[in-house]
């Protein structure tokens, strides 16, 4: 054969790969099939690489174990997991009830896409009692979308109660469980139908990979989620799936440390004269603490606090004085971050006054003393500008 032909087939490794601790990262769109009958045998063969190869399959199996799921669908981002699950499970004429404290880009998807395709979207106050929420739902309501705690203001919902009441009425429930990271809270064990996560945050853990997941215990529902991805044509890379699997190995250790660091800082902040209140469901005395204590096994490093009132310039001075905390929107990585929240709260339907500027912190793996010193310097800058 000519070099031209030989180069197409040269270097192929036949037979088993060596057995490493992690899965092999296969790269492939084309899957070579053993015979003609296999070409159209989708029940017994993976016939195309878009569905994911070795590393994606390993990650799905690991996440299914973590979530107690029949199967887990992977998406190219956390937002894609939520939009993909909603597109897979809702149809024109349906209504969805969405908690008002939902991650803001989900709201953008609901308002700009779901509504355009004939799905009615109704936002509800996170403090709505479950009996009222489900009892007053219209017959068109197909799904209730929760996020508990909310990722800016940390409102908790009585998730198991809402799930049980919704199930009695044939309404699906889904939750954005990015704060619980699949570990601190197990939505499927509490009766939720679809557990969604931005793996980008704690599972990735290093602020460098995007991915999302949707887990379901009911095999029929899991099948619908997988179909939804197939219909939309989304795929995640083997390299990214490998990075997520690597993050999963140390997830419990990182969460344990970051949760403890976060609680230590939250308790310290509560005693600082510039601070009005703390919004951290795992801190005793904070809103939602009872629900957290009943349903969660731990805390992550994300919480907010309210500063005593001062002009906007003082908030900027606080943030600009931070040097160990970075200024950035994401969370779940190994590094500490801070943002001001107030501009994001304006979109809410049930706007609430927190009595001062709201600051969100993500506490990473730095030494707590260094983080406290950084915050103390920033509070001094705040006090100076507050006059």
Ligand X SMILES: *Cc1c(COP(=O)(O)O)cnc(C)c1O
Residue in 71, 176, 193, 295 annotated catalytic: 176
| Other beta carbons less than 10 A from residue 306's beta carbon | 19
- Taking the C-alpha atoms of residue 358 and residue 340, their distance in angstroms, rounded to an integer, is 6
Note if 308 is an active site residue. Answer: no
Q: How far is the CB of 196 from ligand X (least distance, A)?
A: 8
| Other beta carbons less than 10 A from residue 5's beta carbon | 9
Note if 50 is an active site residue. Answer: yes
Quick one: which of 59, 69, 74, 78 contacts ligand X (CB under 6 A)?
Answer: 78
Note if 176 is an active site residue. Answer: yes
- Taking the C-alpha atoms of residue 341 and residue 324, their distance in angstroms, rounded to an integer, is 19
Count residues near ligand X (CB under 6 A). Answer: 12
Residue in 60, 75, 100, 103 annotated catalytic: 103
Looking at residues 81 to 120 of the shown chain, list those that interact with ligand X (rule: CB under 6 A): 103
Of 83 and 383, the one with the shorter C-beta distance to ligand X is: 83
Q: How far is the CB of 74 from ligand X (least distance, A)?
A: 12
Q: How far is the CB of 281 from ligand X (least distance, A)?
A: 14
Give the residue among 339, 347, 321, 272 at the shortest CA–CA distance from 102.
347
Q: How far is the CB of 288 from ligand X (least distance, A)?
A: 16
3-state SS, residue 308: coil
- Taking the C-alpha atoms of residue 174 and residue 60, their distance in angstroms, rounded to an integer, is 19
Looking at residues 207 to 226 of the shown chain, list those that interact with ligand X (rule: CB under 6 A): 210, 212
Residue in 60, 107, 142, 201 annotated catalytic: 201
Note if 201 is an active site residue. Answer: yes
Q: For ligand X, which stretch binds (CB under 6 A), given 5-13, 41-49, 75-83, 215-223?
A: 75-83
Q: How far is the CB of 324 from ligand X (least distance, A)?
A: 22
Write down the residue that tokens 């049980």 correspond to: 164
Strands (E) across the chain are located at 71-75, 95-99, 120-124, 141-147, 172-176, 194-198, 212-216, 275-279, 302-307, 326-327, 337-340, 358-362
Q: For ligand X, which stretch binds (CB under 6 A), given 130-138, 197-205, 292-300, 341-349?
A: 197-205
Q: How far is the CB of 200 from ligand X (least distance, A)?
A: 3
Cβ atoms of 280 and 258 closer than 8 Å: no
Of 177 and 314, the one with the shorter C-beta distance to ligand X is: 177
Q: What is the 3-state secondary structure (H, E, C) of 247-296?
A: HHHHHHHHHHHHHHHHHHHHHHHHCCCCEEEEECCCCCCCCCHHHHHHHC
Residue 358: which residues within 8 A CB-CB, separation 6 or more?
Answer: 152, 153, 279, 304, 305, 306, 340, 341, 342, 345
151 is a contact residue toward ligand X (CB under 6 A):
yes
Quick one: which of 58, 178, 195, 336 contacts ligand X (CB under 6 A)?
Answer: 178
- Taking the C-alpha atoms of residue 16 and residue 268, their distance in angstroms, rounded to an integer, is 55
Residue 346: which residues within 8 A CB-CB, separation 6 or more?
Answer: none
79 is a contact residue toward ligand X (CB under 6 A):
yes
Q: For ligand X, which stretch binds (CB under 6 A), given 53-61, 71-79, 285-293, 334-342?
A: 71-79
Q: For ligand X, which stretch binds (CB under 6 A), given 77-85, 334-342, 355-363, 364-372?
A: 77-85
State the catalytic residues: 50, 103, 176, 201
Residues in contact with ligand X by CB under 6 A are: 77-79, 103, 151, 176, 178, 198, 200-201, 210, 212
């Amino acid at each position: 054969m000519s070099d031209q032909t030989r180069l197409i087939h040269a270097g192929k490794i036949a037979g088993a790969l060596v057995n490493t601790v992690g899965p092999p990262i296969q790269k492939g769109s084309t899957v070579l099939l053993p015979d003609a009958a296999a070409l159209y045998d989708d029940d017994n063969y993976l016939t195309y690489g878009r569905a994911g190869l070795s590393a994606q399959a390993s990650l799905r199996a690991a996440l299914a174990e973590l979530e107690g799921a029949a199967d887990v669908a992977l998406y190219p981002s956390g937002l894609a997991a939520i939009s993909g699950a909603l597109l897979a499970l809702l149809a024109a004429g349906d209504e969805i009830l969405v908690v008002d404290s939902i991650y803001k880009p989900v709201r953008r998807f609901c308002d700009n896409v779901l509504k355009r395709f004939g799905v009615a979207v109704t936002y509800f106050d996170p403090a709505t009692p479950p009996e009222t929420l489900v009892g007053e739902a219209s017959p068109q309501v197909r799904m209730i979308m929760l996020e508990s705690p909310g990722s800016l203001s940390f409102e908790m919902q009585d998730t198991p109660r809402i799930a049980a009441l919704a199930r009695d009425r044939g309404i699906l429930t889904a939750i954005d469980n990015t704060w619980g990271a699949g570990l601190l809270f197990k939505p499927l064990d509490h009766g939720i139908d679809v557990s969604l996560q931005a793996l980008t945050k704690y599972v990735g853990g290093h602020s460098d990979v995007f991915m999302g997941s949707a887990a379901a215990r009911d095999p029929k529902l899991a099948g619908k989620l997988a179909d939804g991805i197939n219909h939309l044509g989304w795929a995640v890379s083997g390299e990214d799936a490998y990075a997520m699997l690597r993050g999963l190995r140390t997830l419990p250790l990182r969460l344990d440390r970051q949760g403890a660091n976060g609680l230590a800082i939250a308790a310290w902040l509560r005693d600082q004269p510039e601070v009005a209140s703390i919004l951290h469901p795992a801190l005793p005395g904070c809103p939602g603490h009872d629900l957290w204590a009943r349903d969660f096994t731990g805390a992550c490093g994300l919480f907010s606090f309210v500063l005593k009132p001062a002009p906007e310039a003082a908030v900027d001075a606080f943030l600009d004085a931070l040097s160990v905390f970075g200024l950035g929107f994401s969370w779940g990585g190994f590094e500490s971050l801070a943002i001001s929240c107030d501009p994001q709260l304006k979109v809410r339907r049930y706007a609430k006054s927190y009595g001062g500027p709201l600051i969100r912190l993500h506490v990473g793996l730095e030494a707590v003393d260094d983080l406290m010193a950084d915050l103390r310097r920033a509070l001094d800058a705040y006090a100076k500008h507050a006059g």
